[in-house]
Amino acid sequence: MLIKKLVSLPSRSGRHLQRYNHGCRLVVGCIPYRYRETKTSPPIHGTLIEELEVLLITSQKSPRMMFPKGGWEIDEDIKLAATRETMEEAGVVGTLGDKLGEWIFKSRSQDTFREGYMFPMLVTEELDVWPEKNVRQRIWMTVNEAREACTHSWMKEALDAFCSSIHASANEEKEFL
């Protein structure tokens, strides 16, 4: 797989290949998730909320927690960019779901706006080595813990969209059965 070949390479850097839309830098990312087996929590959205864990990472420059995201580059489609950024920053690979939405937000490090796109990623593998391992920590947590820990309001909205999509999927399964 192309993404796994990138593990041994350094993360992409610089802005010369970045995509922009009317001056807004385009960024893409994922909400990496997995299911845990437990039956102790009350059902929420058709599944047990404690069955879901999501992966947050620290910022490179601070202990702030967020979902992996980064620049969408001109030589990639949106899903490849989201997958690459998640592998580079969080060291996980998996299966992407449908786009959760689009958000316009102000960059914390620069006084400019960004256009962000987020995808759910069902994690199939956690890598032992990845490009940003030495500058980030990754932490699995429950959805409720992630909502508290994540410092970006637009990412919290993406998390809510993810939970709604899980709820919709669970309802479709029930209707199918």
pLDDT, residue 16, reads 74
pTM assigned to the model: 0.82
Per the structure block, which two tokens stand in for 19? 């995509």
pLDDT in tens, 78-109: 999 999 999 999 999 999 999 999 999 988 77
* DSSP letters for the chain: -HHHHGGGSPPP--STTB-EETTEEEEEEEEEEEE-----SPEETTEEGGGEEEEEEE-SSSS-EE--EEEPBTTS-HHHHHHHHHHHHH-EEEEE-S--EEEEEE-SSSSSEEEEEEEEEEEEEE-SS-TTTTT--EEEEEHHHHHHHB--HHHHHHHHHHHHHHHHHHHHHHHH-
Portion of the chain with pLDDT greater than 70, in percent: 78
Mean pLDDT, rounded, for 12-41:
82
pLDDT, residue 61, reads 86
pLDDT, residue 89, reads 97
User: In this structure, how many other beta carbons lie within 10 angstroms of the beta carbon of residue 148?
Assistant: 10
pLDDT, residue 6, reads 55
Does residue 26 surpass a pLDDT of 70?
Answer: yes
Per the structure block, which two tokens stand in for 175? 């209707």
pLDDT in tens, 30-73: 999 999 866 555 554 455 555 899 999 999 988 899 999 999 99
**Beta bridge pairs of residue 31:** 120
Mean pLDDT, rounded, for 13-36:
87
CB 79 within 8 A of CB 73: no
pLDDT, residue 176, reads 44
Per the structure block, which two tokens stand in for 154? 């637009």
| CB neighbour list of residue 22: distance below 8 Å, 6 or more residues apart | none
